[in-house]
Structure 1
Amino acid sequence: MSSISPVRSQNYQIKWGDTLSGIAKKNGTTVDALMKANPQIKDANKIYAGKGLNIPGRVDSFEPAKGGGKTGGTGGTGGTGSAQGTGGTGPATRGPGGSPFDIARSHLQKNAGSLKLEKNGVGADMDDWVPNNVNCANFVSACLEQAGQIKNGQHHNAVVGLQANLDKDPNFKRVSLANAKPGDVVSMKTPGGHHVVMYAGMKDGKPQFIGSNNVNSDGSQRITMTSMNYPIMSIHQYQG
């Protein structure tokens, strides 16, 4: 698993008399999950009133949009229209460990909740505490790690956090959709917050994107490839 401490908006304030087990029960989670989501807590029996707490599964700044259509049987987060631009056609970007696009494609149709528990590959680089409906940045970060394009310390579970890390990395530069290559990191603005996927080439004149998307009936995510119509905030391309 990624060793970086999770950076998330704190969504619960500990009250006098609270216990971690009581908070877990009230919010339908476990003490173990709370400990993973809050690495600042070293002892489950010692929490302090007034401090902030991350509750796994609660809405936060990287909540993806709810709903969404399906395209070509694979589905995705969002509608079937394309983002603005024509899309690039070049070969997939590669890192020392291979192409993040090829790595992502090898996991198509896997549920993110199952993938992140795998002991090897992408699953080993995903943080398993991340709620199953917000794994988009967790998955993209892990694919970039496996390809050797980013280091473990650059892994981020928030879209804007990953975006900021890539902005600071001299091996990445922002490009337009017209110059995108498969495997480029695409950060989007959604009605509910943000979403991040990778560019996956063109199909029927529309740009396609691959990533961890909210397509399951319970709102959880699965690795799918589809077109999307969300405004693009940035596209980061690995330069090596």
Structure 2
Amino acid sequence: MGYRIKSGDTLSRIASVNKTTVSALMKSNPQIKNANNILSGATLKLPGQSDGFEDAPIKRSGAGSTKSSDKSSTFDAPSAGSSSSGVKGPKGNPYEIANQHKGKNAGALKLEKKGVGADMDNGVGNKVNCANFVSACLEQAGMITDRQHSNLVSGLQNNLDKDKNFKRVSLQDAKKGDVVSMKTGPGAEDRHVVIFAGWKNGKPEFIGSNNRNKDGTQKITTGPANYPILSIHQYRG
């Protein structure tokens, strides 16, 4: 995951919080020449992590869970009468906004000078853009402000939990445009965030910035997931 450096941060503190070392951070971020000289506002790549759906996702007994745990359970399609229409902000639906960029590489999208690309942080590594992309889609929909943008899944989760316009819902009540955070590995920050894209053949689909390119970099893709769900945030405006 990417980490945006805050005023007063030190490399040793960032390493401690993210359970890594200063040397590992410097190896993953060759732009850092002096461990004692880091710039506030820049984004660091955390070593040994990617944050998207791989071509060969983690195998689990089920497809996901709506609980904040690493246990999986089977996804169920919504019952008759459940709402699946898209949720909209003042400027649109995040799913529709994300879908306009389907097939684009995250690295190229970040260079665009308007729309989602302009709201993405260009300092984030091309293998770790999931929260960067989802945050930008929410900004474009008018659901969050630039200050609520986070390049960390846990950071975006926390920001949405604090926002009175968002409420956690179950998968049964999910609507297109909801923010879905998932657990992708054993570490505290092994997480991924995508946007709910509706149901297909009784299974949920998601759109987001995923590690689909052969070199591990991300592109905007849609598909099912094989990871436990940590949270689903729905905009209530």
1:57–1:133: 8 Å Cα contact kept in structure 2?
Answer: no
- The one of 86, 109, 118 equivalent to 2:77 is 86
CA–CA separation in structure 1 for the residues paired with 2:116 and 2:151: 14
Report whether the alignment pairs 1:146 with 2:147: no
1:78–1:229: 8 Å Cα contact kept in structure 2?
Answer: yes
Q: CA deviation at 1:56?
A: 3.0
Structure 1 residue matching 2:47: 3-state secondary structure? coil
Aligned to 1:30: 31
Q: CA deviation at 1:201?
A: 0.3
Report whether the alignment pairs 1:105 with 2:99: yes
CA–CA separation in structure 2 for the residues paired with 1:29 and 1:163: 29
Report whether the alignment pairs 1:217 with 2:201: no
Question: CA offsets, 1:182-208, max 9 Å, x none?
Answer: 000000011261000011001111100
- The one of 174, 179, 203 equivalent to 2:173 is 179
Structure 2 residue matching 1:166: 3-state secondary structure? helix
Aligned to 2:151: 157
Report whether the alignment pairs 1:199 with 2:196: yes
Unaligned runs of 5+ in 1: 15-22, 43-53, 70-76
Aligned to 2:40: 40
Report whether the alignment pairs 1:68 with 2:55: yes
1:199–1:210: 8 Å Cα contact kept in structure 2?
Answer: yes
Q: What is the alpha-carbon root mean square deviation over aligned residues?
A: 3.2
Q: TM-score, normalised by structure 2?
A: 0.76
Say if 1:208 and 1:185 are closer, same or farther in 2 by CA, change over 3 A: same
Structure 1 residue matching 2:89: 3-state secondary structure? coil
The sequence identity of aligned pairs, in percent, is: 51
Q: CA deviation at 1:64?
A: 2.3
What is the total number of aligned residue pairs between the two structures? 205
Within-5 A mapping of 1:1-40: 5-6=4-5, 9-10=14-15, 11-13=20-22, 29-30=30-31, 38-40=38-40
Q: TM-score, normalised by structure 1?
A: 0.75
1:211 alignment partner AA: G
